[in-house]
Amino acid sequence: MKETIKTSRTAGYLEKIFRAVNARYFNGELEEPIITIQSTPKAYGHVTVAKAWQRGETTRHELNIGAGTLDRPIENVVATLVHECVHLYHLQNGIQDCSRGGQYHNKKFKAMAEKCDLQISYDPRIGWSITGPTDALCAFILDQGWEDIRMNRIEWSYTPRGAGAGDSTGKPSGSNPNSHSIKYMCPCCKNSVRATKAVNIKCADCDILMVAQQ
């Protein structure tokens, strides 16, 4: 597979993943959304409740994958996409799976998400929303031959023109500290880890400091 190092190629890759997920878990019944790659500072992705896009004679929902979260392991990116597909399924079938302004995920969401090979955990703020891949989803991804996306927006170090100063990690002040992470890489063996704040961390194999990727 060609490396996903262009936004156009990455968007096409996500569309391909959507179609395979739709066929496997939703019998191909989901209306295809417009897939976008935009910043989502407090989430890995979203689906619009309204059909926010005009495409020819039809209108479509938007399914977004956070630009600052693209280079997570592919199984986590796919888990996010499946999570949003569950919302699409419920929107399409008139099932309310969230409350509190669309933030709190209820047990209807949990039940459908688990049918789609997602591991769902509870958070008192957002309900049954914390999402990870099960072994079954990982096996499906391996069978498809999907690989990690090789591009990502470095949002932890980004301050838009005209915005206020960020905190010491470079994240905009007031953002959720768990929304994004800093990738550290060993300059010798290229092993990498992530941290949710600026840290000094050594590679135990090479006994040298790992370097933050910018």
User: Where are the domains positioned within the chain?
Assistant: 7-144, 181-214
**Domain 7-144 = CATH 3.30.2010.10:** yes
* Predicted confidence pLDDT, tens digits, the chain (214 residues): 555 567 888 999 999 999 999 999 999 999 999 999 998 877 899 999 999 999 889 999 999 999 999 999 999 999 999 999 999 999 999 999 999 888 899 999 999 999 999 999 999 999 999 999 999 999 999 999 999 998 988 875 444 444 333 322 223 333 333 344 677 777 777 788 877 667 777 777 766 777 777 5
Rg (CA), the chain: 18
